Amino acid sequence: MNYYKATFQYDGTNYFGFQWQKDIPTIQNVINLSLGQLLSGKVTTMGASRTDSGVHALEQIVKITTDNEIPCPGFTVLLNQILSKEIRCLKIEPCQGSFNPITFSQSKEYRYLFTNTLGSMGVEQKFIANYPYDLNLPLMQECARQIVGRHDFRNFCSAGSNVKTTIREVLECELVEVDPRTFLNDSDLFTLSHDLKHCYQLRIVGQGFLKQMVRHLMSALWLVGRGKITPDEFSSLLNGEVREKRLWKVSTPRGLYLYRFNL
């Protein structure tokens, strides 16, 4: 068998997440079918992270196992000609058979981009969320700093994932204003409309994340910004205090990016 580490980038808008699902359009389905057109024999893939429906990736690591040798690096050109226009292979290189993109990952970084434009302008941004309310950014930044550390995130995840514990450790978390063109314009997949020059970014780095955890955290921070949740209440939620009814709906996936891995 032959083993390769590949890096993919994708616009997840029209896909039901990364992981393969029977008869459902997912990123892994498209990658597998495309590889099958170029390689004979058995081909399998393993992704480093299961991004959810509508979530994008600037760097998704995939292990490819195949009966055939892949002629690197020219193979990426052929593969990109077959892949759908929303998916790009950035690099393929040989790796050891023992390489596991899930267990070898020391940490992963997500970024959530949003504006708070009042009215309809921000809603039309395909790759950046819009939350059209006045927000107290200093309060939100204070709570973002609270996220760093080891916490019980039971209040910040969706049902449906089989996990032994909801305790996770966040290594870095910050809320800042950025120019999204500094990294999105490096790819031809993410076109920004209205000549958008700045937005807000929640950057979070951790060893592992629960289902829709980043999007739940973003929704809670928005309520902090509106004065619906105090920093003390946010802290109690981080410490695992369960409420009978959640105060927010999970935020839209359009602003969320799997940004990079530390292997």
pTM of the model: 0.93
Give me the percent of the chain exceeding a pLDDT of 70.
96
CA 27 to chain centre: 13
The contacts of residue 5 (CB under 8 Å, 6+ apart) are 61, 62, 63, 64, 92, 93, 94, 95, 99, 101
Domain 107-262 in the same topology as domain 2-94? yes
**CATH class of residue range 107-262:** alpha beta
**β pairing state of 43-47 and 56-66:** antiparallel
- pLDDT tens sequence across 88-100: 999 999 999 999 9
| pLDDT tier for residue 129 given thresholds of 50, 70 and 90 | very high
Q: Report how far residue 10's alpha carbon sits from residue 60's, in angstroms, rounded to the nearest whole number.
A: 8
**β pairing state of 87-94 and 129-130:** unpaired
Q: What is the pLDDT of residue 124?
A: 55
* Under 8 Å between Cβ of 27 and 8: yes
Residues in the chain: 263
Which residues in 145-174 are b (16+ Cβ under 10 Å) and which e?
Answer: ebbbeebbbebbbeeeeeeeebebebeebe
CATH number of this structure's domain 2-94: 3.30.70.580
Is pLDDT at 238 greater than 50 in this prediction?
yes
**Cα dist from 165 to 154, 157, 216, whole Å:** 9, 12, 17
Mean pLDDT of 147-151: 96
* Residue in this structure with the two tokens 């226009």, named with its chain if needed: 85
Mean pLDDT of 188-193: 82
Name the residue ranges covered by the structural domains of the chain: 2-94, 107-262
- pLDDT tens sequence across 113-126: 999 987 655 445 78
Q: What is the pLDDT of residue 123?
A: 44
The contacts of residue 115 (CB under 8 Å, 6+ apart) are 122, 125, 128, 129, 130, 131, 196, 199, 200
Question: Which phi and psi (to 5°) does residue 111 adopt?
Answer: -130, 135
* Under 8 Å between Cβ of 144 and 175: yes
Q: What is the pLDDT of residue 194?
A: 65
Mean pLDDT of 138-151: 97
